């Protein structure tokens, strides 16, 4: 089954959090908080402005995003836990930079 979000809604897959703390302590599943970071699986075409013109979304499938702790609606599609939320609930897009790249 395929799923396509409507309007300005986005389908997100949560990324798993770290199993260890910064000090090396292993955190059990029952004590972990739900991660607030995810990957956009699908995005709708966009929202309509006051004039009825379609305004495209900033996010696209494959983007890594941060969202609020209580944002969205959790759903299960094809046995996978996903979240549907409006684009306005997304706090930002995480851009991957190459670590260790030296300035010339």
Exposed, middle or buried by CB within 10 Å (0-12, 13-18, 19+), for 43?
buried
- End-to-end alpha-carbon separation of the chain, Å? 49
Note if the pTM is more than 0.75: no
Asked whether residue 95 is assigned to any structural domain, the reply reads no
* Model confidence pLDDT, tens digit, residues 11-67: 999 887 666 556 767 766 665 566 688 999 999 998 888 898 998 888 999 999 999
Taking Cα atoms as reference points, which of 69, 101, 67, 62 lies closest to residue 86? Answer: 67
| Count of all residues that appear for the chain in the document | 104
Asked whether residue 103 is assigned to any structural domain, the reply reads no
Instruction: Locate 99 and state its tokens.
Output: 């670590």
Q: The domain spanning residue 57 has which CATH number?
A: 2.30.33.40
Helix (H/G/I), strand (E/B), else coil: 87: helix
Range of the domain at 44: 9-19+27-90
């Amino acid at each position: 089954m395929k799923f396509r979000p409507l309007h300005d809604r986005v389908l997100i897959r949560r990324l798993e959090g770290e199993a260890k703390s910064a000090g090396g302590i292993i955190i059990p599943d029952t004590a972990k908080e739900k991660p607030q970071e995810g990957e956009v699986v699908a995005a709708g075409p966009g929202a309509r402005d006051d004039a009825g013109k379609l305004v495209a979304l900033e996010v696209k499938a494959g983007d890594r995003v941060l969202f609020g702790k209580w944002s969205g609606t959790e759903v299960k599609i094809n046995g996978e836990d996903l979240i549907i939320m409006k684009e306005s609930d997304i706090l930002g897009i995480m851009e991957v930079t190459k670590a260790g790249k030296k300035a010339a």
